[in-house]
């Protein structure tokens, strides 16, 4: 029988997806991000990483009844709440209803004396605490690379990040890790794409011929088909909108009604 | 001397996550150092984040073990198992920082 297929990924046997609820994005990812795995979203400053991550969490809590944790390394809870209020997102209300937990992690810029061996169990404890309080299914770490400015021992840090991403997978939460655009071939400053290998998305914005365009590109999506183009997207008053032309489904029903036109013939 | 005072002059909090070998070493190092340099003037509070996870947020703890000097102010943080005594002393302001170019 004819099957309606207006998204790219209605294929059977693919890995389970976690819908973002962002118009257009779920179409080009074939249903959303890989469920239970971390996705890396990277791009330069101002490209919309934090907003995309926040929408993923807010829409998850509001539309899909999946509570989330937003761990921020750059902006405080108040700043974040203020930033997205204009989009109609009420973070305080979500927190009050135990659908969202926020934790601002302040990374001191090398003010800390390092004396011998340590690990980042403090971070794990905090994240775990936040996940447990709201029974979170979704987690955002924005931007975890900030840790590199606070600790001098990058060997320990890299090992701990690797452990962190593995731990997130074991927890079964769908995560977004954001990263600042790196130099040269590296997607992120510290090359964390090496540890997050399931799904990688690049956000970009440029001005050409005086036209400002934001673009989204799925660089990698392990175990899934996905749109491979660079898709323009908008940040509107209702959040992010990725509107690829392929998502305009031809779903109108065809009329079989006969309508006489009375043209010619009859006299 | 701080005799008879309700709070010690040096208030030191050691954050650990469970009774790991590393946290035991950190505590032993701290105790030894305090006895040598701050005898009778210090108080150590050990906070196990496994039992009190909510306390990690207040002092912005990420690394474990972390030693927080609550008193005397300002607050200072030192991370690691405190095995490098010289650096701990510098971190606690008990020693001058060595000239640059380590």
User: From CA A80, how far away is CA A72, in angstroms rounded?
Assistant: 9
Q: Which residue of A has its CA nearest to B59?
A: A106
Classify residue A258 as exposed, middle or buried by CB count within 10 Å of its CB (0-12, 13-18, 19+).
exposed
Distance from CA of B85 to the nearest CA of A (A): 8
| % residues pLDDT > 90 (chain B) | 66
pLDDT value at residue A185 = 80
Distance from CA of B27 to the nearest CA of A (A): 13
- Predicted TM-score (pTM) of this structure: 0.85
Q: Which of B56, B76, B91 sits opposite A122 (nearest CB)?
A: B56
The answer to whether residues A52 and A199 touch, using CB atoms and an 8 Å cutoff, is: no
The 8 Å CB, 24+ separation contacts for A17-21 are A17/A224, A18/A60, A18/A66, A18/A138, A18/A174, A19/A63, A19/A64, A20/A55, A20/A56, A20/A59, A20/A60, A21/A55, A21/A56, A21/A59, A21/A60, A21/A63, A21/A64
Q: Which residue of B has its CA nearest to A147?
A: B62
User: In B, which residues are within 8 Å of A147 by CB distance?
Assistant: 62
DSSP sequence for A135-157: T-SEEEEETGGGGGGT-S-HHHH
User: From CA A222, how far away is CA A110, in angstroms rounded?
Assistant: 37
**Over the stretch A232-245, which tens digit does the pLDDT of each residue have?**
899 988 899 987 65
Rg of chain B over CA atoms, in angstroms? 14
Interchain pair B50, A125: CB under 8 A? yes
Query: Does ipTM surpass 0.90 in this model?
Result: no
Closest of B2, B95, B85 to residue B40, by C-alpha: B2
**Over the stretch A89-105, which tens digit does the pLDDT of each residue have?**
999 999 999 999 999 99
User: In B, which residues are within 8 Å of A110 by CB distance?
Assistant: none
Assigned token pair, B100: 């640059």
Interchain pair A150, B77: CB under 8 A? no
Q: Which of A116, A117, A167 best tests the B interface by mutation, with the highest count of B CBs <10 A?
A: A116
Distance from CA of A86 to the nearest CA of B (A): 28
**Over the stretch B21-69, which tens digit does the pLDDT of each residue have?**
999 999 999 999 999 999 889 999 999 999 999 999 999 999 999 999 9
Interchain pair A118, B57: CB under 8 A? no
CA A75 to chain centre: 17
Q: How many CB atoms lie within 10 A of CB A172?
A: 10
Assigned token pair, B73: 């102010």
Interchain pair A115, B80: CB under 8 A? yes
Closest of B81, B55, B54 to residue B66, by C-alpha: B81
Q: How many CB atoms lie within 10 A of CB A22?
A: 21
User: In B, which residues are within 8 Å of A115 by CB distance?
Assistant: 78-84, 87-88, 91
pLDDT value at residue A6 = 42
Say whether A65 sits in a helix, a strand or coil.
coil
pLDDT value at residue A245 = 59
Residues linked to residue A242 through DSSP beta bridges, in sequence order: A233
Angle between helices A154-171 and A121-134 (to 10 degrees): 20
Q: What average pLDDT is seen over chain A?
A: 87
DSSP sequence for A107-129: --SS-SEE-S--B-HHHHHHHHH
Q: Which of A103, A115, A150 sits opposite B83 (nearest CB)?
A: A115
User: From CA A207, how far away is CA A140, in angstroms rounded?
Assistant: 29
Q: Which of A35-44, A66-75, B1-10, B79-88 has the lowest mean pLDDT?
A: B1-10
User: In A, which residues are within 8 Å of B90 by CB distance?
Assistant: 113
The answer to whether residues A140 and A71 touch, using CB atoms and an 8 Å cutoff, is: yes
User: In A, which residues are within 8 Å of B82 by CB distance?
Assistant: 115-116
């Amino acid at each position: 029988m004819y099957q309606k297929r207006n998204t790219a990924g209605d294929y059977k046997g693919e890995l389970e997806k976690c819908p973002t609820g962002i118009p257009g994005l779920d179409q080009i990812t074939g249903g959303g991000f890989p469920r239970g795995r971390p996705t890396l979203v990277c791009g330069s400053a101002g490209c919309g990483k934090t907003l995309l991550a926040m929408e993923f969490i807010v829409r998850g809590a509001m539309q899909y009844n999946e509570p989330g944790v937003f761990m921020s390394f750059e902006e405080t809870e108040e700043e974040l709440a203020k930033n997205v209020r204009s989009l109609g997102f009420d973070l305080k209300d979500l927190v009050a209803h135990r659908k969202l937990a926020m934790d601002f992690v302040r990374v001191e810029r090398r003010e800390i004396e390092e004396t011998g061996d340590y690990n980042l169990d403090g971070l794990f404890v905090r994240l775990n605490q936040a996940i447990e309080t709201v029974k979170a299914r979704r987690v955002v770490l924005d931007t975890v690379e900030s840790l590199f400015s606070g600790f001098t021992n990058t060997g320990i840090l890299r090992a701990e990040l690797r452990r962190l991403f593995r731990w997130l997978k074991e927890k079964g939460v769908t995560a977004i890790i954001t990263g600042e655009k790196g130099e040269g071939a590296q997607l992120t400053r510290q090359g964390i794409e090496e540890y997050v290998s399931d799904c990688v998305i690049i956000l970009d914005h440029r001005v050409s011929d005086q036209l400002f365009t934001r673009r989204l590109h799925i660089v990698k999506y392990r175990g899934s088909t996905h749109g491979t183009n660079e898709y323009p997207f908008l940040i509107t008053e209702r959040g992010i909108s990725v509107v690829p032309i392929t998502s305009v489904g031809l779903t109108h029903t065809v009329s079989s009604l006969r309508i006489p036109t009375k043209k010619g013939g009859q006299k | 001397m701080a005799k008879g005072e309700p709070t010690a002059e040096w208030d030191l909090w050691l954050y650990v996550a469970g009774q790991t070998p590393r946290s035991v070493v950190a505590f032993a190092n701290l105790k030894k150092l305090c006895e040598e340099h701050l005898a009778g003037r210090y108080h150590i509070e050990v906070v196990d984040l496994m039992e009190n996870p909510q306390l990690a947020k207040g002092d912005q703890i990420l690394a474990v073990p972390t030693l927080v000097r609550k008193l005397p102010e300002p607050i200072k943080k030192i991370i690691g198992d405190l095995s490098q005594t010289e650096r701990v002393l510098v971190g606690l302001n008990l020693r001058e920082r060595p000239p640059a170019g380590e």
